[in-house]
């Protein structure tokens, strides 16, 4: 059965997109069929997969509004190994346009239902908000992967997200659960990060994955080449960490 996961955290700059593109590329390297859905109007996952967000006839925006079929909007970027439902600034307007539509929280879910059997994993890169777009992502998914930096306010922000997921679970999507907290941009030498990491484990137990993504400049450079770090520099520490993370996900049978 296809696993559909959202990569979510309402904070910006915490590593959602980096995690989504690298997990997609890593799973693809491990032989999985992957669809990446870019749900952020910034289109960073789109550009980071080597697709020019400005030159797209159909994107996730058209699919959400029912203007184009999902089949016609999915592209296969040549180098990354996964398929992509792209996004660009058009998507910012969807927030308002969706309000008048029926079953507006389920537009993505219903579109994905038409293609998901072609994939082992669908990974949804969410925008930094708890908006109608993120809601569409969360209503489509069984699992939420939360990338986070182990900083002082990280736990505080987490409770809003966890509460939102609980209420969604109760009202709109009974399948939804947090499956993974992923520590990203981690630096072992920083005592505070160790402490926050310990607190995370105390709170969330084995939902905190063993794999840890270090701060690694190759991961940060990769998007400017239109590639996930896993492909841009496969021997880098960052790439290896994301491969390990993908393996852990597969081993846990998520």
Q: Which of 17, 19, 32, 46 binds Mg ion (CB under 5 A)?
A: 17
Q: Which residue has the tokens 């032989």?
A: 31
- Find the part of the chain contacting ligand ADP (CB under 6 A) among 11-19, 60-68, 95-103, 202-210: 11-19
List beta partners, residue 183.
148, 212
Residue 188 interacts with ligand ADP (CB under 6 A): yes or no: no
Integer CA distances (angstroms), 7 to 45, 122, 189, 202, in order: 12, 11, 27, 22
> Which residues in 42-81 contact Mg ion (CB under 5 A)?
44
Which of residues 73 and 124 has its CB atom nearest to Mg ion in the complex? 124
Q: What angle do CA 17, 19, 20 make, to 5 degrees?
A: 65
What Cα–Cα distance (Å) separates residue 62 from each residue in 33, 112, 208? 24, 13, 36
Q: Which helix (H) or strand (E) holds 83?
A: strand 83-85
Verify binding: residue 22, Mg ion, rule CB under 5 A.
Answer: no
| Residue 228 within binding range of ligand ADP, rule CB under 6 A | no
11 counts as binding Mg ion under rule CB under 5 A: no
Residue 47 binding ligand ADP, by CB under 6 A: no
The tokens 């840890």 sit on which residue? 212
Distance of closest approach, residue 125 Cβ to ligand ADP, in angstroms: 7
Instruction: Tell which one of 46, 83, 116, 216 touches ligand ADP (CB under 6 A).
Output: 216
Query: Do the strands 74-75 and 83-85 form a parallel or antiparallel pair, or are they unpaired?
Result: antiparallel
CB closer to ligand ADP, 43 vs 81: 43
According to the binding rule CB under 6 A, does residue 136 interact with ligand ADP?
no
How far is 54 from 175, CA to CA, in rounded Å?
35
Q: Taking the complex as a whole, how short is the minimal distance between the CB of residue 102 and Mg ion, in angstroms?
A: 29
x-or-dash string of contact with ligand ADP, 137-166, rule CB under 6 A:
------------------------------
Q: Which whole-number Å values give the CA distances from 8 to 11, 118, 128, in the listed order?
A: 9, 24, 8
Burial class (CB in 10 A: 0-12, 13-18, 19+), 47: buried
Task: Find the shortest distance in angstroms from Cβ 15 to Mg ion.
Answer: 8
Query: By CB under 5 A, is residue 20 in contact with Mg ion?
Result: no
124 binds ligand ADP (CB under 6 A): no
Count of Cβ atoms closer than 10 Å to residue 138 Cβ: 25
12 in contact with ligand ADP (CB under 6 A): yes
44 binds ligand ADP (CB under 6 A): yes
- Binding residues for ligand ADP, rule CB under 6 A, total 18
């Amino acid at each position: 059965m296809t696993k559909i996961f959202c990569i979510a955290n309402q904070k910006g700059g915490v590593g959602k997109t980096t995690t989504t593109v690298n997990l997609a590329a890593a799973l693809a390297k491990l032989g999985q069929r992957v669809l990446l859905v870019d749900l952020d109007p910034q289109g960073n996952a789109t550009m980071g997969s080597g697709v020019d967000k400005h030159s797209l006839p159909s994107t996730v925006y058209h699919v959400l509004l029912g203007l184009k079929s999902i089949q016609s909007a999915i592209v296969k970027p040549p180098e990354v190994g996964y398929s992509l439902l792209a996004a660009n600034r058009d998507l910012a307007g969807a927030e308002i346009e969706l309000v008048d539509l029926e079953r507006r929280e389920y537009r993505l879910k219903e579109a994905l239902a038409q293609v998901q059997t072609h994939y082992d994993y669908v990974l949804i890169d969410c925008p930094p908000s708890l908006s109608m777009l993120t809601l569409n992502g969360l209503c489509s998914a069984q699992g939420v992967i939360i990338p986070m930096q182990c900083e002082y306010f990280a736990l505080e922000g987490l409770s809003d997200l966890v509460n939102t997921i609980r209420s969604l679970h109760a009202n709109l999507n009974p399948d939804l659960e947090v499956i993974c907290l992923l520590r990203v941009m981690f630096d072992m030498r920083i005592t505070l990060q160790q402490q926050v990491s310990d607190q995370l484990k105390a709170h969330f137990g084995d939902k905190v994955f063993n794999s840890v993504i270090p701060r690694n400049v190759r991961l940060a450079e990769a998007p400017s080449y239109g590639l996930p770090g896993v492909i841009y520099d496969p021997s880098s520490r960052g790439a290896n960490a994301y491969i390990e993370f993908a393996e852990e996900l597969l081993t846990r049978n998520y």
